[in-house]
Structure 1
């Protein structure tokens, strides 16, 4: 009679699916074919609960980050508006000051020309002295008009002149640009 071989059950590899922290699943081969123990079920349950808690925490952190970003954006917007208002106010003050200084410069130039008109009468003739007095009077009138007008009126007048004669406006801008370039060189 043939001897009976003892039957041993070979361990067959089994697979288990494990959830990773990034939400993906991974299949892992195990060699234990024994039925899961109650501790394994409890461990899986705790692992899943921890995973759910981590997801909830991440969602809460994301919501908090969005709230803070919104607050920072609002604060930056208000500061930008404040700075913009301050810049406009300061720019307006500087423009008024520049307008006043330009008016003073025209008046000063008018006085210099008027003071030199008698010298022109003596050296070149009364005709050139009268031209100088006429130019002085014109400069004085323009200085007075410049001082009396507001910046808005000056801007409207400038737009009207540019609309009527764009070529002259471009030429004048080039001359003024050249003058400032030479002045600040």
Structure 2
């Protein structure tokens, strides 16, 4: 039987109190979970930043190595081409004329000088000069990039 001392209002008040208490507990649980998730996210974010930083450092070091190696190879290629032109200057004198042979020798000396200047400069100096060149002559820079891309494409397409 139902206890007559408990009224309907008292029962609904008890239910409201239980419900409010359950809501408060749910809010507290959600806040605790949010705190845990926040800490986990911060931890993972820090780990990701550390890994990205290490990767960036490694990539920069590799890029610097490749740039130095590329600079040395370019210089060697210029010197090799210069020697080839110089070796053939006498043949040019015979076949075309001394005037053109002198042009070839002048071009060869200019190439040797360019290779020497390339060897003397650091990668940073070359980068600064390249940026300055692009600022002063963007059209020429784009033309050179297109021509270089075309030549490289032709070279690698044949292989």
Q: C-alpha distance in 1, partners of 2:85/2:21?
A: 94
Match of 2:73 among 93, 101, 106: 101
Deviations 1:87-130 (A, max 9, x none): 11111111111111111110111111111111112222222221
- Quick check: 1:143 aligned with 2:143? no
* The structure with more radius of gyration: 1
Q: Does the C-alpha gap of structure 1 residues 77 and 125 become closer, same or farther in structure 2, counting only changes over 3 Å?
A: same
| Aligned equivalent of 2:140 | 168
Q: C-alpha distance in 2, partners of 1:141/1:60?
A: 71
Cα displacement (A) at 1:49: 5.3
- Quick check: 1:64 aligned with 2:36? yes
Question: Normalized per residue, which structure has more helix?
Answer: 2
Cα displacement (A) at 1:159: 2.6
Cα displacement (A) at 1:145: 0.6
- Unaligned runs of 5+ residues in structure 1 are 1-31
Q: C-alpha distance in 2, partners of 1:72/1:96?
A: 36
Query: How many residues are matched?
Result: 151
| Aligned equivalent of 2:84 | 112
Cα displacement (A) at 1:51: 5.5
Q: Does the C-alpha gap of structure 1 residues 55 and 145 become closer, same or farther in structure 2, counting only changes over 3 Å?
A: same
The normalised TM-score by structure 1 is: 0.70
CA RMSD of aligned residues (A): 2.7
Q: C-alpha distance in 2, partners of 1:133/1:170?
A: 30
Match of 2:100 among 122, 128, 144: 128
Q: C-alpha distance in 2, partners of 1:99/1:164?
A: 23
Displaced runs of 4 or more, over 3 A: 32-36, 43-55
Q: Does the C-alpha gap of structure 1 residues 71 and 117 become closer, same or farther in structure 2, counting only changes over 3 Å?
A: same
- Unaligned runs of 5+ residues in structure 2 are none
The normalised TM-score by structure 2 is: 0.80
Q: C-alpha distance in 2, partners of 1:59/1:163?
A: 55
Within 5 Å, which residues of 2 pair with 1:28-67?
A: 35=6, 52-67=24-39
